[in-house]
Amino acid sequence: MKVDVLLGLQWGDEGKGKVVDVLTPKYDVIARFQGGPNAGHTLEINDFKQVLHTIPSGIFHENKANVIGNGVVLDPITFEKEIQSISKHGVDLTKNLFISKKAHLILPTHRLLDAASEEAKGDTKIGSTLKGIGPTYRDKIGRDGLRVGDLLENFEAKYTARVNAHKDLLENYYHYDYKEKLAGLEAEWMKAIEVLKKFNLVDSEHFINDNLTENKSVLAEGAQGTLLDIDFGSYPFVTSSNTICAGACTGLGVAPQRIGKVFGIFKAYCTRVGSGPFPTELHDEVGQKLRDAGHEYGSTTGRPRRCGWLDLVALKYSIMLNGVTELIMMKADVLDTFETINVCVGYEINGEVVEKFPYELNDSVKPVYVELPGWECDLTKLTNQNEFPEEFNNYINFIEDEVGIPITIASVGPNRDQTIILEE
Ligand code: GDP
Ligand code: IMO
Ligand code: MG
């Protein structure tokens, strides 16, 4: 069996959580492969809404294994809160959740270092979610990190040594007033690791590969989006992991030839939260209309998301990097009331139009648009492609023709049921 991968093609918040939940019945195992509680994946299941940060979005289906892979960074405090909130719905997490012993731990001081680093950057700050992601991955790559497996043996000494090094940085490099904040966080963290230790802590690379050998199917769930990838995103305004498909190999321990389908998720327009370039961003009332209609406020931080038109230059770049085999278009309903819709098909840079994503997206990049007619009707109640208005079919066909990959699912609302499978 192969591992199918589902990931975001833009700047995150494309709707990955919703689609993972919808696709879970087809799979035996759902596995997160990178990122951490910077992610906020929203599920709307009939009468309730749940935002997941660390736990895979397959958790509300019975008899499915949900794996937190080695590539993830885990904060025991967020984890505990998430467990409490999910347990209210009667889900037995001790049975169907498996956590890699190789996943790195976000320590209380990582969060403080994130805050100190952003503060020190001033106007050039990344706009981090302040969950400690950058400092934790920095320790991992610097070979100083602590892993979930470390909790099982001689943990205190390892913890104290690492936290002392962080305190030194906070005090003498950042001159950051951390003592009071750390005391509160640390107490909460120590309590939370006792909860974490009660779960199935496993060698997840064996767990996943054994499942594949036994003919079980696996869906890998990405976090963030391709344009936030540490290597290929709009560096330095990125996150600290490989969000692209290759990240599923390193973040789960699956070989490249084991990758099957690659589902690339994109919104019918674009959003970005945090700092960094965004060529199609709209600073006017059209941008505000998108924000209002799409409820574009961060699932993790509540910050208003920056909004703009769909960018096909960026989308093609993301499709190339991930080897996308199927596209999934989200939030089409948000465009329901637009008379016309713009789609960016090129970038004008110093008088020349390019269709290839450039080294850097700076202020000289101007989007070149094609204007398409809007459908001006309500898509949210539709259940079948046959009911699509002509202009919506045109919008889908235009994108498919430009990027050369089929759109196989269109999402027309946040609920599980508002998901339409398209004919090839
Ligand atoms: P993720 O991080 O990629 O999982 O996406 P988020 O959950 O952060 O953001 C997506 C938001 O859009 C959530 O509030 C979803 O409930 C909502 N959503 C998902 N699909 C649709 C859709 O097709 N239409 C509308 N209107 N909302 C959607
Ligand atoms: P999901 O999985 C949208 C953004 C932050 C910031 C940058 C770095 O819900 O799509 P970090 O906390 O990683 O140091 O922040 O990345 N960011 C996200 N934006 N969705 C996310 O996750 C994000 N995770 C991080 O806003 O600009
Ligand atoms: Mg999100």
Predicted pLDDT at 324 = 98
Closest CA to 28 of 181, 210, 296: 210
Residue 157: pLDDT band by 50, 70, 90 thresholds? very high
Which atom of ligand 2 is least distant from the CA of 228?
16
Residue 318: pLDDT band by 50, 70, 90 thresholds? very high
Residue 351 has pLDDT above 80, yes or no: yes
Residue 120 has pLDDT above 80, yes or no: yes
Percentage of residues in the chain with pLDDT exceeding 90?
A: 95
d(CA 136, CA 148): 13
Could you confirm whether 41 is annotated as catalytic? yes
Percentage of residues in the chain with pLDDT exceeding 70?
A: 100
Ligand 2 probe mutation, 273, 297, 306, most atoms within 8 A of CB: 273
Paired tokens of 184? 């509160």
Q: Which residues contact 362 (CB under 8 A, 6 or more apart)?
A: 277
Which is catalytic among the residues 13, 28, 75, 229?
13
Closest CA to 306 of 335, 272, 337, 340: 272
Predicted pLDDT at 327 = 98
Q: Which residues contact 352 (CB under 8 A, 6 or more apart)?
A: none
Predicted pLDDT at 300 = 76
Burial of 118 (0-12, 13-18, 19+ CB in 10 A): middle
Distance 175 CA to ligand 3 centre (A): 32
Angle 65-247-301 (CA atoms, 0-180°, nearest 5)?
80
Interval 84-100: pLDDT, tens:
999 999 898 989 999 99
Closest CA to 105 of 65, 155, 66: 155
d(CA 419, CA 26): 15
Distance 309 CA to ligand 2 centre (A): 20
**Residue ID of nearest Cα to ligand 1 atom 8:** 13
Residue 339 has pLDDT above 90, yes or no: yes
In this structure, the residues whose C-beta lies within 6 A of any atom of ligand 1 are 8, 12-18, 40-42, 44, 294, 299, 330-331, 333-334, 411-414
- Which ligand places an atom closest to the C-alpha of 329? 1
Which atom of ligand 1 is least distant from the CA of 298?
8
What mean pLDDT, rounded, does the chain reach?
96
- Which ligand places an atom closest to the C-alpha of 265? 1
Could you confirm whether 283 is annotated as catalytic? no
Predicted pLDDT at 241 = 98
Interval 283-317: pLDDT, tens:
999 999 999 999 999 877 888 999 999 999 999 99
Interval 7-66: pLDDT, tens:
999 999 999 999 999 999 999 999 999 999 999 999 999 889 999 999 999 999 999 999
d(CA 7, CA 324): 9
Which atom of ligand 2 is least distant from the CA of 12?
10
- Which ligand places an atom closest to the C-alpha of 54? 2
| Rg of the chain in Å (alpha carbons) | 21
Predicted pLDDT at 258 = 97
Predicted pLDDT at 423 = 83
Ligand 2 probe mutation, 129, 140, 307, most atoms within 8 A of CB: 129
Predicted pLDDT at 347 = 98
What is the residue type of 45?
I
Which is catalytic among the residues 4, 21, 28, 41?
41
Predicted pLDDT at 363 = 85
Interval 225-250: pLDDT, tens:
999 999 999 999 999 999 999 999 99
Q: Is 241 left (phi over 0), alpha (psi -120 to 50) or beta?
A: beta
Once rounded to an integer, what is the mean pLDDT over residues 102-116? Answer: 98
Predicted pLDDT at 230 = 98
In this structure, the residues whose C-beta lies within 6 A of any atom of ligand 2 are 8, 11-13, 35, 38-41, 126-129, 131, 133-134, 223-225, 228, 239, 273-274, 299
Q: Which residues contact 14 (CB under 8 A, 6 or more apart)?
A: 8, 225, 265, 266, 267, 330
Residue ranges near ligand 3 (ion) with Cβ within 5 Å: 13, 40, 299
